[in-house]
Amino acid sequence: MNLKYYNTETASHLVDEFYSIEYSKKDTPFTTIIIPMAFSSISYIYSGNQYTIQNKSKKELKGLTIFGQFIKSYPVVVENAGLCCGISFKPTTLFKLTNIDLSKITNQHLPLDSLKPNLSKKLKTIFLNYQDNYENLFKEISIFLNSLPILEDKKTIIIDHVILLINKKEGLISVNDILKTIPFGQKTLETEFKKMVGITPGKYIQIKRFLNLMRKYEKGQIELKDLIFMYDYYDESHFAKDFKLFTSNSFKNYFKEDYIIVKQALKNNYYDLLQKN
Check residue 78 and report its DSSP letter.
Answer: E
11 and 87 both lie in a single domain: yes
Task: Give tens-digit pLDDT for 197-251.
Answer: 999 999 999 999 888 888 887 777 667 677 777 777 766 777 777 777 777 777 6
Q: How far apart are CA 263 and CA 101, in angstroms?
A: 30
Residue 143 near residue 235 (C-beta atoms within 8 A): no
Residue 29: is the preceding peptide bond cis (ω within 30°)? yes
Residue 245's nearest CA partner among 33, 20, 23, 16 is: 33
217 and 106 both lie in a single domain: no
Q: What are phi and psi of 273, to 5 degrees?
A: -75, -40
Q: How far apart are CA 138 and CA 85, in angstroms?
A: 9
Tally the domains of the chain. Answer: 2
**Mean pLDDT value of segment 115-122:** 97
- CATH number of the structural domain spanning residue 226: 1.10.10
- CATH number of the structural domain spanning residue 37: 2.60.120.10
Task: Give tens-digit pLDDT for 159-185.
Answer: 999 999 999 999 999 999 999 999 999
Task: Give tens-digit pLDDT for 236-255.
Answer: 777 777 777 777 777 666 65
Cβ count within 10 A of residue 34? 17
